[in-house]
Chains A and B, each alone.
Chain A
Amino acid sequence: MNNNKERKKVTVLDFVLIAVLVCTALFIILQQNKSDGGELEVVVKKNSEVVFNRSLSDISGVTEICVDEEFNVIICMEPDGVYVKSSDCSDKVCVNTGKITKSGQAAVCLPAHVSVELKGGKSEVDVVVG
């Protein structure tokens, strides 16, 4: 009945939509990479509670900690970055994230409710409130 009203494959609006989305994504990536250098802090959270918090420069050599007994989430810390070495979860998102080296980056293991974040990095403004 409505053959003449069949939707097109791509329209101009589709391209506008895609352009807006790609620009948003690139803008967020740029923002994330802004604060570079300076002191980095490792924050490990389990069930939204901080279980480990230390400055990256205080870590000498390779340090490994096991955060979750059930999933055996092993986080490996090195002076230049942090990564989830292994986890018994099914999706392995945390391990596949790889090494995080910059402020604002994170590796998350959803099944184990564990997250590793890098915070800090001396930018001119740390936090803008209000």
Chain B
Amino acid sequence: MKKKSGFNVKMFSQTAMLSALTIVLSFLEGMLPELPVPGAKLGLANLAVMTATDLFGLTGGLSTTLVKSFFALVTRGPVAGFMSLCGSLLSMFVMWLFMRYDRKKFGYVGIGVMGAVSHNMGQLCASFAMMGSAVLFYSPFLILIAVFTGAFTGIVNSILLPIIRKSEKYA
């Protein structure tokens, strides 16, 4: 039932809304208390990135990712912006690959976990480039916490995405 056209207004507006949502979620996340692992976050904004990637593929994922990183750049400085960009780009790409693979093989939780782990690994690689081997000490803790935050993202999206897709049919 998809119409093939050069410019898809529905996709354009929904991607814009999801991009705006990443900013709101990033802001909300900043107000939450710290997680036990230094530097780790719940990844609320990743929710919107996962939703956009699932609904609109790479286009949706890329635009939400860029908006999210730009928000980090403006509010938390160039280092945070660069870290956010590295983490979210890798995360989005990995989630996209896993989503394309096979609908039956991986569930939402698996994709969420892979997204969170690759997000943290992307950031770790970026900080490795800047700081050297000292940052590797954080890697196992970042993997462990990503399993939890990613599972959370996956569970929330397993509830949200079917509802969004169902509502699409009546829109």
Contact = CB atoms under 8 A, between A and B. Distances in A.
A11 B107 CA distance: 5
Interface stretch (A16-24, A51-59, A60-68, A74-82): A16-24
A104 interface: yes
B134 A106 contact: yes
Interface string A88-115: 0011011011000000111010110101
A45 B107 contact: no
Given A28-B139, A29-B140, A21 B104 contact: no
A21 B147 contact: yes
B83 to A, nearest CB: 7
Given A6-B165, A48-B132, A110-B131, A14 B110 contact: yes
B130 A110 contact: yes
Interface stretch (B3-11, B15-23, B73-81): B73-81
Contacts of B77: 90, 111
Contacts of B104: 7-8, 11
A26 B39 contact: no
B113 A14 contact: yes
A125 interface: no
A107 B22 CA distance: 29
A99 to B, nearest CB: 12
B98 to A, nearest CB: 9
A11 B155 contact: no
Chain B: interface size category: 35 or more
Given A18-B147, A48-B131, A115-B135, A13 B165 contact: no
B127 interface: yes
Contacts of A94: 38
Interface string B102-116: 011111111001100
B79 A111 contact: yes
Contacts of A25: 139-141, 143-144
A14 B106 contact: yes
Given A9-B108, A14-B106, A110-B127, A91 B80 contact: yes
B105 A11 contact: yes
Contacts of A106: 134-138
B162 A6 contact: yes
A129 to B, nearest CB: 16
Interface of A: 1, 3, 5-11, 13-14, 17-18, 21-22, 24-26, 28-29, 32, 45, 48, 90-91, 93-94, 96-97, 104-106, 108, 110-111, 113, 115-117
